[in-house]
Amino acid sequence: MTTQTIHTATNQKNHYSKIPNVYEDPHTITVILHEKLKSNAFSQRYVGLVQQIDTINCSGKLLINIRKDSLNHSFSIGNRLQIKSNINPNSAPKNPNQFNYSNYLVNKQIYGQLYADASEIKISTLIEKDIWYYAAQIRNTIINNLKKDGFTTTELNVAIALLLGQQQEIDPQIIQDYQYAGAIHILSVSGLHIGFILLFVTFILKPVPNNRKGSLLKLFIIISSLWLFGILAGLSPSVVRSVTMFSFVAIGQHLRRSVNIYHTLLVSILLIVVVQPAFLFDVGFQLSYLALFFIIWLQPLLAQLWEPKNKFLKYVWDIISVSFAAQIGTLPLSLYYFHQFPGLFFITNLVIIPLTGIIMGLGLVVMVLAFFNLCPLILSKALEWSLYLVNQIIHNIASFEEFILKDIPFNTLLLIGSYSLILTSILWFEKRNFSRLVALLLSVIGIQCSYLWNEWNVENQNEWVVFNIKKNTLITERNGKKVTLFANDSLQKIGAKNNNLNAYLVGNFSHLAAAKELKNTAFFNGKRILIVDSTGVYPKKYRPEILLLTQSPKINLDRLIQTIQPKVIIADASNYKTVQKHWETSCVKAKIPFHSTSEKGFYILN
């Protein structure tokens, strides 16, 4: 808690959030590009380090969105930019049960973002040449040299993700295939990759003598290689975890002492959270440590169930037991965050892990040679064909969609209950005695109680929700687990396939029971609701508590307020923003609460 307080950027005196009206007025902002993020359809996205706002020197991180144009402006890590724009604070989710991107950015110490046109940005001739600049230059050199060798874009992007941890340019369809096949961990540099680097560097250093000086030299080169590779891969939480862990392993080898892997695990966590406490809230960090812990603890117990004497069968069983141990350990957390489970994960790992080892060895050689522009065509083509083969295997496994369990409702209570059951089951399996059996049975009762409480809680909930959907009106009425959708014809046909609606259904353990046409009046929990659409037609004698305005109706709101006297007025995202500003002024004058979903997010009545 202390290190988190110290490292929280907004606690620093010179953080840009301390500047008066920093989020209200446009400013001239000087930033240095620190990290390139995955672009979207409209913008190139970067993390920028703030140097100055107007004439005030300050610090902090901003998410910078540079709109794409026909000139394809390019920016590099280390570029110093001067941008005149508004800084927008992180906004809360605009729809229920939506991914909280604001919290995600806060955990990365990013408290605002700005939008700019590339043509309006001034680029300084000075370049900030720090370690991140040189890491980006190395990656760009490797990528450009491989492109010259005719490396196909799809396989090249997978190679960069697999070997250098950079997923910015990878095709979303390929990422989805890896997710469905249960192989997404392969695209994130982790223990598998760092362990291979350790073995690779150790093998190269074999000729160095094992005397005191030689051993120290080996240790220095190994740890330096691991951390340089980590920097090259972007020092993501999973990379930091792996590099820290294997650094301790290397030190243990140097001291010629047996390394207690549990001690290494705990010390690495301690060191990481002292330096970067926000990593505790990173999903990748949580999953990687859980997977590693269960591999260390559970895999040896699973391996004892069957001890084949045939070497090939033993190798296959080891891969399967490792995969199951990691999957069991991460399953509740994966369901909590992603609400899906890849049923064929063990087949994927059985086929892909051996191929990944070959690709890692070949890929490291290709990347090193490509940096010096010395990579023979036969090696680059071998790597390209290997990656093509892996992509095809992954795609074929992912195509069996009936084995992919999607939209699984899961909340905090079930998460705690699941881990309680898993931990007590393993403890009892490890050593069968009465006290552990009692703990196991209590955890079974606990998860049953969690499930029953959750069912009772959901069944006793009723709510009416106006969603924030651009250019459309979407309303749901939920009674327990049954949800009725009120929308126009196009949204009715989409139904539960709509991402916002689907997230709501999963988050509330409910299902779509009916889809109905949106009418001008509604009634919920004793409250009358009037919906005025683009026709502007409404019953003059109707006295609603709530007035919902949709599709920018051409009405005189002042007169409408005097006529029907509503208590609350809502405007959804199907209305023009300029019209909503006029409505808000009318509501302030009439002292009636005004809720714009474009600004405040969804409206809920319960």
pLDDT per 10-residue tile (average), the chain, 606 residues:
90 93 92 90 91 94 90 85 93 93 92 91 89 88 87 88 82 90 80 79 85 88 89 82 85 76 86 89 89 92 91 89 92 94 88 83 87 90 91 92 91 96 96 95 96 95 95 94 89 79 95 91 93 87 92 92 93 94 94 95 94
β-pairing, 603-605 vs 462-466, is antiparallel
- The pLDDT assigned to 63 comes to 96
378-406: per-residue pLDDT in tens?
A: 998 999 999 999 999 999 999 998 889 99
Is residue 446 located within the same domain as residue 573?
no
Count of CB atoms within 10 A of residue 266's CB? 11
399-454: per-residue pLDDT in tens?
A: 998 889 999 999 999 999 999 999 999 999 999 999 999 999 999 999 999 999 99
Is residue 450 located within the same domain as residue 480?
no
> Which one of 424, 440, 459 terminates a domain?
459
Is residue 452 located within the same domain as residue 497?
no
Is residue 431 located within the same domain as residue 566?
no
Q: 119 lies in a domain? A: yes
Q: 112 lies in a domain? A: yes
> Which one of 112, 128, 144 terminates a domain?
128
Six-digit token string for 411: 């909340």
How far is 61 from 51, CA to CA, in rounded Å? 10
- The pLDDT assigned to 496 comes to 67
- The pLDDT assigned to 252 comes to 80
Is residue 447 located within the same domain as residue 497?
no
Six-digit token string for 143: 């990528």
Is residue 606 located within the same domain as residue 469?
yes
> Which one of 459, 488, 515 terminates a domain?
459
Please give the tally of structural domains in the chain: 3
Is residue 472 located within the same domain as residue 430?
no
* 374 contacts: CB under 8 Å, gap ≥ 6: none
How far is 112 from 102, CA to CA, in rounded Å? 9
Is residue 447 located within the same domain as residue 473?
no
Backbone angles phi, psi at 208, to 5 degrees: -70, 130
Six-digit token string for 539: 């019953």
Determine the angle formed by the axes of helices 311-338 and 412-430, rounding to 10 degrees.
Answer: 150
CATH code of the domain in which 34 resides: 2.40.50
Q: 574 lies in a domain? A: yes
Cα-to-chain-centroid distance, residue 219 = 35
Is residue 475 located within the same domain as residue 604?
yes
Is residue 567 located within the same domain as residue 451?
no
Q: 428 lies in a domain? A: yes
List own/partner pairs for 387-391 with CB under 8 A and 24 or more apart. 387/155, 387/158, 387/159, 387/162, 387/359, 388/152, 388/155, 389/355, 390/158, 390/352, 390/355, 390/356, 390/359, 391/154, 391/155, 391/158, 391/174, 391/177
Q: 224 lies in a domain? A: no
What does the angle CA 436 – CA 439 – CA 444 come to, to the nearest 5 degrees? 130
Q: 455 lies in a domain? A: yes
Q: 535 lies in a domain? A: yes
Domain that holds residue 571: 462-606
Contact 46, 36 (CB under 8 A): yes
Is residue 593 located within the same domain as residue 471?
yes
Six-digit token string for 190: 């982790």
Q: 76 lies in a domain? A: yes
Is residue 504 located within the same domain as residue 606?
yes
- The pLDDT assigned to 298 comes to 94
* Location of structure tokens 């999963």: 506
In 3D, which of 291, 397, 312 has the Cα closest to residue 354?
312
DSSP summary character for residue 41: S
* 148 contacts: CB under 8 Å, gap ≥ 6: none
How far is 598 from 72, CA to CA, in rounded Å? 31
